[in-house]
Amino acid sequence: MEYLMDTKIGKIFAEEEGGFITRLGFCGANPAAQRGAEEPPAVKKAFEELEMYLEGRLKKFTVPINPKGTEFQKRVWQNLLKIPYGQTATYREIAIRSGNSRAVRAVGMANNRNPIAIIIPCHRVIFSDGRLGGYAGGAKIKEALLKIEGAVF
């Protein structure tokens, strides 16, 4: 089931399975989504941490996550989790860290398929020339997230 949260950057949905967040991202209005007392503990914690993050009061998420993807995607996402708060890395740097310096486009596709936005910080990945690049939530949201973190880009 999808749960919905209104934030200053738009509506965010979350899904959990077995006590882990499996999906979190940006959405439009979804009448099937819920917000209320029946939120599972992982969703409630994710929303609380997102609220603190968006206020600039949280630098590291602790909610348990379990993203679903290929082995390469999971390796990329693990490397995204290693990018420090307030810093950026290039697609090439993530490709190298993920074991294949030529997999820059594959890293871009893994970012595009990131099922747990913000918590797995694909917004911290930029082009080598400093351009922000794409983002599932849109370029304005990517820029807003980087500004919350005080990142220089």
Extents of the domains making up the chain: 3-54, 71-149
- In the chain, how long is the greatest CA-to-CA distance? 47
How far is the C-alpha of 76 from the C-alpha of 120, rounded, in Å?
A: 10
DSSP 8-state code for residue 76? H
Measured between alpha carbons, how far is residue 63 from residues 20, 45, 67, 133 in Å?
A: 8, 6, 12, 27
pLDDT at residue 23 in the model:
97
How far is the C-alpha of 152 from the C-alpha of 130, rounded, in Å?
A: 9
DSSP 8-state code for residue 126? E
How far is the C-alpha of 77 from the C-alpha of 82, rounded, in Å?
A: 9
How far is the C-alpha of 95 from the C-alpha of 114, rounded, in Å?
A: 15
| 65 contacts 21 by C-beta, under 8 angstroms | yes
Assess whether 27 carries a catalytic annotation: no
| 117 contacts 65 by C-beta, under 8 angstroms | no
Of the residues 122, 125, 148, 151, only one is catalytic, namely 122
pLDDT at residue 85 in the model:
98
pLDDT along the chain (153 residues), means of 10: 91 95 82 67 97 97 98 97 98 96 96 97 95 90 96 86
Domain 71-149: CATH class, spelled out: mainly alpha
Answer positive or negative: Cα dihedral of 87, 6, 140, 14.
Answer: positive
pLDDT at residue 37 in the model:
54
pLDDT at residue 143 in the model:
96
pLDDT at residue 27 in the model:
82
SS3 7: strand
